[in-house]
Structures are given as C-alpha cells and as structure tokens.
Copies of this chain bind each other. A is one copy, B any other.
Amino acid sequence: MDISTINWNDIEWEHVREGVSRKAFSGEGATVSINRLMPGHEPRPHDHHYEQIVYILAGQIDFHIEDSVTRLGAGGLLVVPPNARHWGVVVGDEPVLNLDVFTPKRAEYAS
C-alpha cells in the first residue's frame, strides 16, 4: 500500500505574492494548505469552484465572503461556499496562519 506521509516542516513555503506564502498537501479527496499572510499584504478578492473550510491557527483576520465580513482569531472556523467571492485582511501586527481544506482536491497546488 502506498502511504503518503510527510512533515509540514519538510514542505517549503511557496511564495505566492508579496506578503503571502503557502504550503500544501493533498489526498485524493481534499487538499490541505497552510497560508501565511503578513500584515499589510494586498487583499485579492477571488473565487473558485472549490469549497474551502478555513481554520485560523494564529493571528487575526477580517474574512470577507461576498458582502459579509467575519473577524476570526485562532480557532476560528468558516466555510467558503463554492464560487463565493472571498478575501482576507490581516488585523493588527501579527502574521496570520490559516489552514484551508479544499474539496475537491486542488490539483494546481503542489503535492
């Protein structure tokens, strides 16, 4: 049986754009990514056909989905429905670490 196993620490941060870095890990059914958002990064509203479960690991973020905004801190969970326009704005001086679960798997992300 081919077991896929790795440590997050062994995955390099991928530079996504100024102030945004990402690590990703996929199964067949889902892709899990950790994103690091720096204070002052340029928010970039976007949408995709994936459902996205957001779990904030550290920091504070104002998370926008369409016309709603929710302030999330560590432990905060939220579901972005498929095709909903969304973006985050870091609150305060602490970088935000958020874990995203995409379904179906997000093939364009590494591993």
* Whole-angstrom distance between the Cβ of A4 and the nearest chain B Cβ: 4
Whether the Cβ atoms of B32 and A29 lie closer than 8 Å is no
Q: Across the interface, which residues of B come within 8 angstroms of A53, CB to CB?
A: 25, 27, 30, 32
State whether A55 and B32 are in contact (beta carbons under 8 Å apart), knowing that A5-B70, A72-B5 are contacts in the complex.
yes
Tell me if A81 counts as interface (CB < 8 A to partner B).
yes
Whether B84 pairs with A4 at a CB distance below 8 angstroms is: no
A110 interface residue (CB < 8 Å to B): no
- 0 or 1 for each of A23-65: is its CB under 8 Å from B? (1 = yes): 0010111101000000000000000001101010000000001
A101 at the interface (CB under 8 A from B): yes
Indicate whether A8 reaches chain B with its CB closer than 8 angstroms: yes
Q: Besides A32-B101, A55-B99, 14 other CB < 8 A contacts?
A: A3-B65, A3-B68, A3-B81, A5-B78, A6-B77, A27-B53, A27-B101, A28-B51, A28-B81, A29-B50, A29-B51, A29-B103, A30-B53, A103-B104
- B27 near A103 (CB under 8 angstroms)? yes
- Cα–Cα distance between A75 and B65 once the two chains are bound (Å): 29
